[in-house]
């Protein structure tokens, strides 16, 4: 962190967020978050934007995850024209050649939690997409093997959703019914 | 172990042996039965195997390896489709260590968070702490003191050594060089002893925290570091004698589990697995965090992308880390070991006895935690296994709203079927070992 040359970094986003309509990349609105580039495709343009990002040199799909904004009380930092939905799927891309990074964030509604799979663009999306399905219940359409990965196959519910209660087993220090 | 047989109707086009060389990244894009990944659930596998009426079955066998097989590094289970001893398709089945640490992270404050994430990658715990702290610091927009930065680098490079020594030990044992197990642990033990002196614990340190590190280096740390830097290089020479040049060792690893650079990139591989294919990517050099832009080191890459390259890369990364550690020893600046911000850093114990404000701050930090401005950020570090990233969303409270860890082992594991295809099952053991997955980090 210290001693790192960040002249080239576009500085954090207040002034950028205030005029988001002037900035797009691959046809998707572009914002900055703590110096990191974020684009906001829609579900319809998700695959298209991903494909053009790959063609532009973002050949490495570093990460896919999701966020459930059900109980989020602070304001959502979305540019104009992007409707906030309950789920947000976040994909981090990097370019092996230029070492740039870009983050794609797409809104996925609660009543139809589906999203096209990125498998045909980056086959590395296979297990992270399964993890997102397992944890959030977002179904990736056209994924080669859409099933649970971390939880057992017969598990009910998706643990990282905000309305999935954390199970607690009460600690019993003394149990009358138990012998020994 | 479950042994079942598949019917002929799911016949795969190709016979065992190398298929005709096509576009190399095309291989990993396949979806159907010709893919290296066995996309089949346990239920389906049981149905196929349990049906006695399948008339003409071929020689194909479905076999479970693990989850508690000694070569699977903990609790990795592999579903293998075998023809004789040749692996056709396979599927890593994970989740046996899943304890919901990302969910847990949402219940813990930022100060407690490090205690949680340090338990993910138990062979290199300081890196997860570091990524978590960097993400939190980015959200807080604080700069940490220079000495804290260098202490973090010192500890992380030692942790890289410890992790790679663990790899040397387990890789040696998996391949039958059982003596190596003892040597690897011996060196790792020396480093863990130093860790115990600095952090109080041999693993799961909770040492790197948002705002700096938990404690300053103890008096006389320079002597400990200098001693370690003196005893380790000759021992690496022993490794060379025991393994690197040995014909049996080479025959066992060279050409086993080879991968093309296009495939590795397409499958999102990082770390030694990606570098073994010749792609020179190291976050320490490419996106310098901490003060890595002020030390000199080389990024080690391989040529063939096979298990031998992955072994050699790790061995030479140990040498590069020693080079970095020498520079850290010379350049360690004086100063604070944590940021002097009363809202983030708990006051020293002595102050609590004499100052009411210090007591209040201490109480507030440990009960409520400090608030982190709303926003989202991704911070990544180069762990011994690859890119370890933390994606954090804050809603302005004292707990992360979402804390996701991009664990390199989890993503690297999806390369396994592609590395193992058309290889022997005995080579599979060498391949699993060379990917070096840590299941605590895979399952989280």
List pLDDT tens digits, range B275-327: 999 888 899 988 888 889 999 999 999 888 889 999 999 999 999 999 999 99
Q: How high is the pLDDT of residue B369?
A: 86
Q: How high is the pLDDT of residue B132?
A: 94
Assign B102 to helix, strand or coil.
helix
Omega before residue A33 within 30° of 0, cis: no
A 101-120 → B contacts, CB under 8 A:
101, 103, 119-120
Asked if B41 lies within 8 A of A1 by C-beta distance, the reply is no
**Is residue B5 within 8 Å of B60, Cβ to Cβ?**
yes
- Burial of B92-104, coded b for 16+ CB within 10 Å and e otherwise, reads bbbbbbbebbbbb
Collect all residues of chain A within an 8 Å Cβ-Cβ radius of residue B288.
4
Q: How high is the pLDDT of residue A179?
A: 52
The closest of B215, B256, B230 to B87, measured between CA atoms, is B256
Q: How high is the pLDDT of residue A175?
A: 61
**Is residue A39 within 8 Å of A91, Cβ to Cβ?**
no
Q: How high is the pLDDT of residue A3?
A: 39
Calculate mean pLDDT across residues A171-180. 60
Q: How high is the pLDDT of residue B9?
A: 32
Q: How high is the pLDDT of residue B130?
A: 93
Asked if A126 lies within 8 A of B98 by C-beta distance, the reply is no
Collect all residues of chain A within an 8 Å Cβ-Cβ radius of residue B146.
2-3
- Closest approach of A144 to chain B, Cα-based (Å): 6
Q: What value does the mean pLDDT of chain A take? A: 81
Asked if B265 lies within 8 A of A2 by C-beta distance, the reply is no
d(CA B289, CA B121): 20
Assign A24 to helix, strand or coil.
strand
Collect all residues of chain B within an 8 Å Cβ-Cβ radius of residue A73.
395-396
Interface mutation vs chain B, best among A86, A92, A124, most B CBs within 10 Å: A124
What is the ipTM, given to two decimal places? 0.84
Residue in B41, B139, B401 closest to A153 by CB: B41
A57 close to B (CB below 8 A): no
Sequence-separated contacts (24+) of B26-35 with Cβ below 8 Å:
B27/B263, B27/B418, B28/A123, B28/B263, B28/B266, B28/B267, B28/B418, B29/A119, B29/A120, B29/A123, B29/B266, B31/A119, B31/A144, B33/B89, B35/A144, B35/B89, B35/B417
Q: How high is the pLDDT of residue A174?
A: 63
A147 close to B (CB below 8 A): yes
pLDDT tens readout for residues B80-106:
888 888 888 889 998 888 888 999 888
A 13-32 → B contacts, CB under 8 A:
none
Residue in B139, B266, B378 closest to A92 by CB: B378
- Closest approach of A176 to chain B, Cα-based (Å): 30
The answer to which of A19-33, A72-86, B70-84, B245-259 has the lowest mean pLDDT is A19-33
d(CA B418, CA A65): 24
Q: Kindly state the DSSP code that residue A149 receives in the 8-state scheme.
A: S
Sign of CA dihedral B116, B121, B126, B132: negative
Distances (CA, A) of B179 to B3, B245, B246: 33, 16, 14
Instruction: Report residues of chain B scoring pLDDT below 50.
Output: 1-22, 55
């Amino acid at each position: 962190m210290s001693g790192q040359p960040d002249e080239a970094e576009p500085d954090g986003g207040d002034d950028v967020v205030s005029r988001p309509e002037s900035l797009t990349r691959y046809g998707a609105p572009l914002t900055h978050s703590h110096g990191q580039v974020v684009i906001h495709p829609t579900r319809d343009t998700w695959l298209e934007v991903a494909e053009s990002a790959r063609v532009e040199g973002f050949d490495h799909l570093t990460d896919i995850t999701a966020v459930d904004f059900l109980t989020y009380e602070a304001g959502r930092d979305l540019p104009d024209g992007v409707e906030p939905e309950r789920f947000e799927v976040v994909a981090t891309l990097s370019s092996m050649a230029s070492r740039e990074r870009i983050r794609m964030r797409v809104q996925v509604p609660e009543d139809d939690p589906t999203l096209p799979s990125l498998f045909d663009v980056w086959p590395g999306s296979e297990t992270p997409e399964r993890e997102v399905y397992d944890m959030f219940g977002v179904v990736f359409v056209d994924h080669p093997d859409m099933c649970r990965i971390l939880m057992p196959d017969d598990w009910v519910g998706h643990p990282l959703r905000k309305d999935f209660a954390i199970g607690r087993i009460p600690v019993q220090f003394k149990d009358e019914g138990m012998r020994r | 172990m479950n042994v079942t047989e598949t019917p002929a109707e799911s016949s795969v086009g190709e016979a065992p042996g190398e298929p005709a060389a096509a576009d190399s990244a095309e291989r990993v894009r396949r979806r159907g039965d010709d893919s290296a990944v066995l996309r089949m659930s346990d239920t389906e596998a049981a149905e196929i195997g349990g049906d006695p009426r399948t008339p003409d079955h071929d020689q194909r066998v479905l076999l479970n390896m693990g989850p508690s097989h000694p070569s699977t590094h903990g609790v990795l289970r592999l579903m293998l489709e075998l023809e004789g001893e040749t692996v056709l398709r396979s599927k890593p089945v994970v989740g046996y260590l899943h304890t919901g640490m990302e969910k847990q992270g949402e219940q813990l404050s930022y100060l407690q968070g490090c205690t949680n994430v340090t338990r993910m990658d138990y062979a290199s715990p300081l890196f997860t702490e570091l990524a978590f702290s960097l993400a939190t610091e980015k959200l807080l927009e604080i700069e940490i003191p220079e000495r804290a930065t260098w202490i973090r680098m010192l500890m992380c490079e030692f942790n890289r050594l410890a992790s790679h020594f663990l790899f040397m030990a387990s890789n040696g044992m998996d391949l039958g060089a059982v003596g190596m197990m003892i040597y690897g642990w011996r060196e790792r033990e020396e480093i863990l002893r130093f860790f115990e002196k600095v952090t109080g614990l041999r693993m799961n340190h909770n040492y790197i925290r948002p705002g700096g590190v938990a404690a300053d280096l103890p008096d006389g740390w320079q002597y400990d570091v200098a001693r370690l830097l003196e005893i380790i290089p000759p021992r690496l020479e022993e490794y060379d004698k025991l393994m690197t040049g040995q014909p049996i060792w080479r025959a066992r690893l060279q050409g086993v589990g080879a991968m093309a650079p296009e495939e590795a990139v397409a499958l999102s591989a990082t770390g030694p697995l990606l570098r073994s294919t010749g792609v020179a990517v190291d976050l320490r050099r490419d996106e310098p965090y901490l003060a890595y832009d002020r030390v000199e080191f080389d990024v080690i890459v391989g040529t063939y992308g096979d298990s031998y390259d992955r072994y050699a890369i790790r061995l030479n990364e140990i040498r590069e880390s020693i080079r970095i550690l020498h520079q850290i020893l010379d350049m360690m600046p004086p100063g604070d070991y944590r940021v002097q911000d009363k809202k983030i850093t708990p006051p020293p114990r002595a102050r609590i006895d004499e100052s009411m404000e210090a007591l209040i701050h201490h109480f507030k930090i440990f009960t409520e935690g400090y608030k982190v401005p709303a926003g989202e950020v991704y911070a990544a570090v180069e762990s011994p296994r690859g890119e370890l990233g933390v994606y954090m969303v804050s809603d302005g409270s004292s707990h992360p709203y979402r804390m996701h860890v991009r664990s390199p082992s989890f993503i690297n594991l999806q390369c396994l079927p592609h590395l193992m295809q058309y290889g022997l099952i005995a080579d599979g053991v060498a391949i699993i070992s060379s990917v070096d997955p840590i299941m605590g980090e895979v399952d989280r």
